[in-house]
A and B are shown apart, each in its own frame.
Chain A
Amino acid sequence: MNAHPSNNYSTIELIKYTLHLADSNLILAQRNGEWCAHAPILEQDIAITNITLDLIGQSRNFYQYAAQLINQSTDRPNNEATEDSLAYLRTERAFKNLLITELPAGDWAQTVLRQFFYSYYQLGLYEQLQNSIDAQLAAIAVKSIKETKYHLKWSSDWVLRLGDGTDESRQRMLKALETLWQYTGEMFTPVEYEINMGIDFVQLKKGWEQHVFAVMQTATLLQAGDITQLNNVYMQAGGKTGVHTEQMGFILADLQYLQRTYPGASW
């Protein structure tokens, strides 16, 4: 079907794609960061914020690269793009993050299940991107793979622990699954600027489903027939092209408040 993905992308496609990768990491980091000093126990507070730090680091690498590409391709001597201007001064419609990253943190079940879905997606994506003909995307991907595997170990453990835990934890995981599932389809449905980036989305989805279903089965979250039901769920989309949920404005208000109120503030 899509065995030989095209690699003939334009600079504008590369910029949009790089921003998309940066935005998804940044927005999920912002959401996970809400747990700082609020997680159930201290060790897990440290765990989720450490994962957040890795996501911010990865997003910075992508933003720095996007800024470099933008500055090389436009003549704006007095208005240089920087990693900070891209994160703090773009408007909602310019953000290209996946919708799943902007959903509320919810309870701990929703937080760990989202991280689990996202990390498996990231791992599959980075494993393909490490062979990108773009050397910088490949370098960022290789650097991020080891971090992502570690996040995956942590979130898989939590899916097993809560899914196959008490009645209460299991109910919460099932509720999280019902909330989140409709946002997973967007990961595997390429938009216009992704088509030529050399990503095999069919393969990406296949690998993701295989791993995710296996862990969810062990966690007793899937019964016979559930997969057919999941496959029939209507999938939400829009984040990658800037059409967001009502949550997005609130996130940006929080994230961008300081730089918009005190432009250029630093410490």
Chain B
Amino acid sequence: MNNTGNKFSVASSKLPTEAEVAVWNILETVPDPEVPVLSVLDLGIVRDVKVESPSADYPKGLASITITPTYSGCPAMDAISMDIRMRMMEHGYGKVNIISVLSPAWTTDWMTESGKQKLAAYGIAPPAHSNVEGAPVICPQCQSDNTKLLSQFGSTACKALYQCNDCKEPFDHFKCH
């Protein structure tokens, strides 16, 4: 269950087949609808990809993609499923199985390192690893760690609102979850 930065090292322990790597590469291009700088892979919500052998009905093989929600009430899950279906269709896949699972529960520890860097560059302070207690929230504008919490809740379920005490800029923090 570790995500060591390799986009394929998720729930499945066995190495992906060539057909599955092709699907992973397509998923890399599907953005999160609420934080579009992240792909669904950066976010760590794709847990597994399986592709069956090609058949008459499925010349590219029937693909099954397992996803998990970030928060129980995340309103983006339906949009994400739809975006994945559309992108797969563009690449010549017909029907795609999208399976939603709750267990194991999503954590920001599954976010990729490159995803965290993209978040910071986009102006959102990325989450620290959940085993780091009381890690400072770094201002994405001036890199200062002299920041304060304005509100525990922000523009989406996954964010909190902070302000930098040095450059005074308010910013979103992707909460450690």
Contact = CB atoms under 8 A, between A and B. Distances in A.
A186 interface: no
Given A43-B153, A47-B152, A50-B157, A142 B72 contact: no
B73 A56 contact: yes
Interface string B149-172: 011111101000100000000000
Contacts of B150: 43
A50 B153 contact: yes
Interface string A153-167: 110000000000000
A147 interface: yes
B102 A57 contact: no
Task: Give the one of B75, B150, B153 with max A CB within 10 A.
Answer: B153
10 contacts: A43-B153, A43-B161, A44-B151, A50-B153, A53-B71, A53-B157, A54-B157, A57-B73, A136-B102, A143-B72
Given A139-B103, A143-B105, A58 B153 contact: no
Interface in B112-159: 150-155, 157
Contact of B153 (A55, A139, A144, A154): A154
Contacts, number: 66
Q: Interface size bucket, B side?
A: 20 to 34
Interface residues of A, number: 27
A222 interface: no
A147 B72 contact: yes
Interface string B82-107: 00000000000000000001111111
B79 interface: no
A16 interface: no
Main secondary structure of the interface of A (DSSP, over half): helix
A143 B157 contact: no
A140 B69 CA distance: 11
Given A46-B151, A54-B73, A139 B177 contact: no
Contacts of A257: none
Given A53-B75, A58-B73, 18 more contacts: A43-B150, A43-B151, A43-B153, A46-B151, A46-B153, A53-B157, A54-B71, A54-B157, A57-B73, A61-B102, A139-B103, A142-B103, A142-B104, A143-B69, A143-B103, A146-B107, A147-B71, A147-B72
